[in-house]
Amino acid sequence: MRIKLCSAFMHAAGLSCLLSLPATAPAQEWPSKPVRIIVPFPPGQGADFVGRLLAERLTQVLGRQVVVENRPGAGSMIGTEFAAKAPGDGYTLLIGGTSALVINPHLFPKLGYDTLRDFAPITNVASLPMVICVNRSFPAHNIQDLIRLAKRRPGEIVYGSSGNGSTHHLTQAMLAAATGIRLIHVPYKGSIASMTDLLGGQIAMLADTPPAVLPYVKTGQVRAIAVTSIKRSPFFPEVPTADEQGIKGFDAVAWAGFVAPAGTPASILDRLNNEAVKALETPVMQKRFQDLGMVPIGDTRDQFGAFLKTELARWGKAVKVSGAKID
């Protein structure tokens, strides 16, 4: 009997202790282990630099190692799909850019992820406007010159890009559609090949990022005739935008954004946004992004989410206009 009474007493005491606990025990504090940022490109490219700069800063402020994991391939789709299917626990994040998040969904009918469904926005990290350049012997010094020439010679002016369906390609297709001119597109395997042919006169024009074209513009080997953002680029302050030159509202900018798999807790997303934005505001980070030819952004989660929806619509129209198709 005594044993039964003791047992009953302990059971009651244990139950009393359990009932005295909070209704929900606090979740394990995040992060409790290393965090990885997936970059769907090889080391040394723009998105990789962005990821490593963020990882370096987040390691300091989160108190856990934040590492970049490069998963390149299939035009950024391999790494992006991997991140989309990762658990939404805050330990797998992604640096996704224009091609991965807003162009590929319109190019590939069987894409393994949906940008709005599978990702939670954290912040847009940096933007990279395109610079439209022409061969130095090509008789156009601005966009209006280009329009006049193209209308006199429809279908004769050839422009290059770093590949079919690339940001470089679609920017120029959007420009042609906005100005009512007909240009001929030649896709290359990368920016270096297209720039080589621009220098050699095999093509008349291309659009590329400031770091890619700056050395050639400075030496006078090519001529910059427009910047594709609404505001002038700090790296080409003397080059007017397409908008300034009469193509009102023209805005085609590459960017690198910070996202997490859908389902990641809001508290983690908020902390990541807060720390990333604070990092982007520091003079050291501002200088490092400037050296890369990028303009740091650092917006709110809601702003970046709205931006993604706008960009999906914008680049969807560009894909349609360009006629780009990739099976």
Among the candidates 227, 262, 283, a domain finishes at 227
Residues 95 and 179 in one domain: no
Residues 42 and 108 in one domain: yes
Peptide bond into 31 cis (omega under 30): yes
Q: What is the pTM of this model?
A: 0.83
Is position 2 within any domain?
no
Among the candidates 227, 242, 268, a domain finishes at 227
Q: Is 198 helix (H, G, I), strand (E, B) or coil?
A: helix
Residues 149 and 98 in one domain: no
Per residue of the chain (327 residues), give pLDDT as tens. 444 444 444 444 444 444 444 433 334 699 999 999 999 988 888 889 999 999 999 999 999 999 999 999 888 999 999 999 999 999 999 999 999 999 999 999 889 999 999 999 999 999 989 999 999 999 999 999 999 999 999 999 999 998 888 899 999 999 999 999 999 999 998 888 999 999 999 999 999 988 889 999 999 999 999 999 999 998 899 999 999 999 999 999 999 999 999 999 999 999 999 999 999 999 999 999 988 889 999 999 999 999 999 999 999 999 998 888 775
Is position 198 within any domain?
yes
Please tell me the total count of domains within the chain.
2
Residues 106 and 53 in one domain: yes
Is position 294 within any domain?
yes
Burial readout 147-185 (b: 16 or more C-beta within 10 A, e: otherwise): bebbeeeeeebbbbbbbbbbbbbbbbbbbbebbebebeb
Residues 176 and 158 in one domain: yes
Residues 56 and 101 in one domain: yes
Residues 119 and 139 in one domain: no
Among the candidates 176, 209, 227, a domain finishes at 227
Residues 258 and 124 in one domain: yes
Full residue range of the structural domain in which residue 309 is found: 35-129+253-322
